[in-house]
Structure 1
Amino acid sequence: PGPVAAVPPAAGGPPARAEWRLPGDLGRRYGAVSGDRNPIHLHPLTARLFGFPRAIAHGMWTVARCLAEAGDPSSIRSVRVGFRAPVLLPATVTYAADATGNAFELRGGKGRVHLVGTVTRQAGVSGPG
């Protein structure tokens, strides 16, 4: 993670907490580990065949990365996520979360929201310190 960029929050959105630079080969690397080798994640050429200008990040990777930033994973009981826009690779994105870490979003340039989510934690366990 790098320094937090001055990406404005979406209207009423949580404040920025971290900035991530995602390489162009992220989809291929995640696909090799996960076994999900969907062509939209692998190369710009194969992604274009499906209407994307470049390869896109795996949705499950983006959710997992957000959860890793959200604090103690053993405290998370459930997760709800809404995907809003694909993350075109390479990319720089901003992870934003409320003070509890229970509501989060991933934003791209000009505040474009890629995903929004919430976590429910076990009773008596808080999010990031």
Structure 2
Amino acid sequence: MPETALRERRLEALRRQGYLVLCVCSVAVHAAIASGELPQGNWRAALVAVLSAALLPATLSRRVSAHRLDMLVVWCANIGASCFLWDFAARGLTLGARESLTVPLFFVIWFGLLPLKQAAVRGGVLYAALILLVL
């Protein structure tokens, strides 16, 4: 097996491991948040936990290509950003640790996996929505 192909396989395996760790952590964190918020009727964290759990089989499957897995992660980030904005507005626009941790994660995913223009559009839309909500 050529050196380049071996390097690409190792990189793909490393990416899959990273996605697996991110998904498991996301499920754990959002399930913990949901356990406190579900009794009050806020189910958004539970939705994000379910979305993260739904990615787990794809991260473990070799039938899902690395490119397709990247796009699934991007779509989950898009959905997660929408849920984040919805939750942010529903909680009365309070800024806290959740926002400080969540927003940069969307940017890391978008700018790490998408072409620059597509990532910049998503980031610009997210910031514009946050500005509109706050104002």
TM-score by length of 1: 0.31
TM-score by length of 2: 0.30
More relative contact order, 1 or 2 (CA 8 Å, 6+ apart): 1
| Structure with the larger helix share | 2
Q: For the pair shown, which has the larger CA radius of gyration, 1 or 2?
A: 2
| Structure with the larger strand share | 1
